[in-house]
Structure 1
Amino acid sequence: MKITGYRSLTTVCEWNRPIGDVNGVIASGVTEVPVLILETDVGVEGVGLGGHADIDRIFPALEGNDPRAVTSLYDSMQAHVFKSGHCGSVFGAIGVADMALWDIKGKLAGEPVWRLLGASDRFVPGYASALDGGLDDDALLALYKSWAERGFSAAKLKGGRDVDADIRRLLAIRDVLSVNSRKPALMFDANEAWSRKQAVRHVSAIEERIDLTWIEEPVRRWDVDGHRAVTEGVRASVASGENLTGLEQFRPFVAAAAIDILQTGSCWGITHFLRVANLARAFDLPISPVGYNGNPVSHAAASVSNHIAHEIQNLEAPFGIALDQEIESGGIRLGDDPGLGIRVDEAAIGARQCSGAWTVPQGPHVRPERAGLRLVPDGEE
């Protein structure tokens, strides 16, 4: 049995609302979802979701090999690009190929990946995270009411420019989710928009009114000292790591006690998540995967003992994608389909010729010029 090739296509996620954060907003609410399909000589194919523009660079490490050797192939992919780096888009290609390999492994075993990895419970606790930076207050409340109807009692707000607005919106979300809990968990994501002192001041102001569960990415992703300063300066836990790639990038944060909750980007793959989860467990730290279309890493999250909550960004699947999972009771209930439970309608996607963009200048994936340098609330400078 061997890997023989791959196919790549792109569909879209239609959010039906503007989406974004402190860095920017995509007003159309339409974003691309790249899909990778790994082929084998026995006809079993694996699906991975996420950016994989550098797949040609890492595919030679896969071609001709047995797809069941997932962790060995993960290391082979990293070794194949060790001189040219395995961060950014290269690491993304490795992660998406890794998803597809786990999908194949599950299909060959006739088991969903969550069961293959040893999970005893198919339910994955989660929290609502609607990429809500582009919504006005009324739209925000309407959206989180739909999450409350699915049983959610925890949510994460995007913000970071106007502390008064952030407090008002957090309190509103708390009121909406109080139907499911007398004390909903509230998280806040600044998406690297602050300096360390701005972070402490902003979060401290929020904490005068709200018992914040965690503050996420308060400073730049690589700033160990800055994360440590925020951890020491506020009551809330500091969560970060979604943009870190490889255990070598997590080690200094753990050594400095600079992160209280380790996060991993779902698009970096299942093997990466499992390894970071083990690192976190060795230091009695919880782990939380950052959401992505289809929630493929939820299978791995079900299998680790220190998983705290899975970010869930959308209640609907991308166009042409069917998922064997249900979002209910405040989390993800995984199904019994072998592999990751992702089915791709290639004909529908091809006929529609889907397109969308994350990296438009006004969107959240492009860092604004004044990020971390604003003296007053946005629009008043």
Structure 2
Amino acid sequence: MKITDVRVIRFRTHADRWDIGHARLRPAAEVSQTVTCIDTDAGLTGWFFGGGKHGDQDGMSPDEQRLIEGRVRDLLLGVDPFDREAVWKWMWVANLPEVAQSVIDCALWDLAGRAAGQPVYKLMGAARDKVPAYASTYPNIGPPQVYAEHALACRAEGYKAYKIHPHYFWNPDTGLPTKGRPSNIRADIETINLVREAVGPDMVLMYDVWGTYHTIEETIKVGRELERNDFYWFEHPMPEYRVESYRRLCRELSIPILAPEIAAGGVFTRAEWILQGASDMSRMDIRRGGVTGCRKTAVVCEAFGQRCEIHMAGWGNLQVMGATSQDTSEWYEKGLLAPGVDYDAPHPYLERNCDPMDAEGHVALPTAPGLGYEPIWDYIDDNRVPS
């Protein structure tokens, strides 16, 4: 079997989004989505939806699309699509952007699963058929009391865990976006305390400030509050080019530091952070090396006895979790969520969503072949955008 074409289809769709600059709902906002297709001479095609900042919920940029249909396509034509490891290494050696690498790797895994008639996690070696989910908020869903109310609402829906993305690039006192230094320590600490008080001691709580604390002192101050309130992890608190600051933070705090989240370099960077003692848990997703890179990172973490918590929702991330023990990758990030956002609304271009949650707070692994997509091609064709 040989690859005969690599195509990207861009189309419009709609989904609820949150305006993080003004803390308000954008209902049924227009979203640009892409599906990358890898065709073969055997009539099989592998697909990957997405590649944008929401993972598989938003499409790649036009520049990324042109890269896929140009340089990357030239690299892949005539290649055996089952040679994923070779292709993965070629893309790293070629220094291609991580998004392009990831999209291709995921589409190749989807193709392999369809060829075998099995979900991807079964091809890797299944470890479980369901994973526990946590509710993950948008940033800036409102002032501190709104987070407490939202955490209670999520608990009522069946979530056993809740992650706060607090206030950044937005002033919780004025309700207006801010430029420059984004830290809001006073409101963040109030949010931490109000949420714990609202949900009680039994709900698992996490905290992710997305690298917006810019001094070690304020980071430690917030970390002490998280420890006092028995939060499970402190995620990506400072810019990730300050590795020494993370090493100090891991020594200063007892709460596990979850990082790096967005640092480039995929599995290689995560391995270095473990060896440097700069994180207590690693963060990875299929947007930073595809299914292959994400699975490699989980294995490295397992070897060092460190958790590899998977970042973001989506079909590919869910497949990696299904092939990884809960001792290594525990929680599935469901979201982003905010008051009024209907995250579970059906995507009009797919027969079903990947991650409905059951009454026990778990998400089942997809059973369809490949990554699990069942596209509605009529909708996609009717909403195409010229490239």
- Bucket of the pairwise TM-score, normalised by the shorter protein: 0.7 to 0.9
One-letter identity of the residue aligned with 1:327: M
**Counterparts in 2 of 1:119-268, with a 5 A limit?**
119-136=126-143, 140=147, 143-145=150-152, 147-159=154-166, 161-174=183-196, 177=199, 182-207=201-226, 209-244=228-263, 245-268=265-288
1:285 maps onto 2:311 in alignment: no
Q: Is the 8 A contact 2:315 2:371 kept in 1?
A: no
> Aligned residue for 2:84?
70
Residue 295 of structure 1: CA displacement? 3.5
For residues 64 and 17 of structure 1, what CA distance do their matches in structure 2 show? 40
In the alignment, structure 2 segments of 5+ residues that lack a partner are 53-59, 168-182, 337-342
1:57 maps onto 2:71 in alignment: yes
1:42 maps onto 2:39 in alignment: no
RMSD: 2.9
1:308 maps onto 2:309 in alignment: no
Change in Cα spacing, 1:47 to 1:121, as seen in structure 2 (3 Å) is same
TM-score (norm 1): 0.79
Change in Cα spacing, 1:204 to 1:132, as seen in structure 2 (3 Å) is closer
One-letter identity of the residue aligned with 2:284: T
TM-score (norm 2): 0.78
Q: Is the 8 A contact 1:324 1:341 kept in 2?
A: yes
**Counterparts in 2 of 1:79-98, with a 5 A limit?**
79=93, 81=94, 85-86=95-96, 90-98=97-105
For residues 142 and 98 of structure 1, what CA distance do their matches in structure 2 show? 40
Change in Cα spacing, 1:146 to 1:13, as seen in structure 2 (3 Å) is farther
Change in Cα spacing, 1:107 to 1:186, as seen in structure 2 (3 Å) is same
Q: Is the 8 A contact 2:144 2:187 kept in 1?
A: no
**Counterparts in 2 of 1:95-114, with a 5 A limit?**
95-114=102-121
Q: Secondary structure at the match of 2:26?
A: coil
For residues 332 and 207 of structure 2, what CA distance do their matches in structure 1 show? 15
Q: Is the 8 A contact 1:4 1:41 kept in 2?
A: yes
Residue among 118, 122, 127 paired with 1:115: 122
Residue-pair matches, total: 342
Residue 165 of structure 1: CA displacement? 2.4
Residue 37 of structure 1: CA displacement? 1.8
Change in Cα spacing, 1:12 to 1:218, as seen in structure 2 (3 Å) is farther
Q: Is the 8 A contact 1:106 1:112 kept in 2?
A: yes
